[in-house]
Amino acid sequence: MSQVFCAKLAENQPRGQTEEEFSRLVATYQEADLNLGRRVFLRHCSVCHQATGAGASKAIPPLRDHIPHLAAHPSGRMYLSRLVLFGLNGPIAVNGQKYFNTMPALGGLLSDVELASALNYAQVSWGNDAHTPHEALVRPSDLAKVRQDPKASSATLKLRQQLWPDGVRTASSGR
């Protein structure tokens, strides 16, 4: 884990958080290493979502200013775990823009540590760190738990529609 990121983490320690809670948070970042996350993201995710997390206009949704809003939901870590493990196929909406494409299932290709690292890399990159609550970080154990109950990509779509029936709107969308 980079020293810069550790320092930023220390600066943003929530008030009232005990040293033990903060130590667990740091351990989460270390377990899902951000350097590994960057490598995994660039190799497997940037093909569609671009190295900048911007996505592809009208084809692939952005991760920049989007993934923190997914992760911040009480079921966000579970949803993100299911998304990367089992994929998604069907229409979604982000800031009023509709996307209809397929997110491939990566669970058969990547380990829980690799997937958690890539998700957390996306949550703290491109300015997303300003919007990502620390408790929203995905742990390898989150993925391991979700992996035990395999679902079709259609179930991921159905979960997304239940959690965000009107699509995901971010603070910067102005709506």
- Per-residue pLDDT of 36-55, as tens digits, reads 999 999 999 999 999 999 99
**What residues contact residue 18 under an 8 Å CB cut-off, 6+ apart?**
none
pLDDT over 70 for what percent of the chain?
78
The whole-number pLDDT of residue 105 equals: 96
pLDDT digits (tens, 9 = 90+) for 80-129: 999 999 999 999 998 889 999 899 999 999 999 999 999 999 998 998 88
pLDDT band at 1 (very low <50, low <70, confident <90, very high): very low
Cβ atoms within 10 Å, residue 59: 10
The residues spanned by each domain of the chain are 3-173
pTM of the predicted model, to two decimals?
0.81
**Architecture in CATH for domain 3-173:** Orthogonal Bundle (1.10)
HSE toward the beta carbon, residue 139, CA cutoff 13 A: 10
Say which range, 12-16, 143-147, 164-168, has the weakest mean pLDDT. Answer: 12-16
Nearest to 45 by CA among 58, 33, 61, 31: 61
The residue behind tokens 């910067």 is: 172
- Token readout for 79 is 């949803």
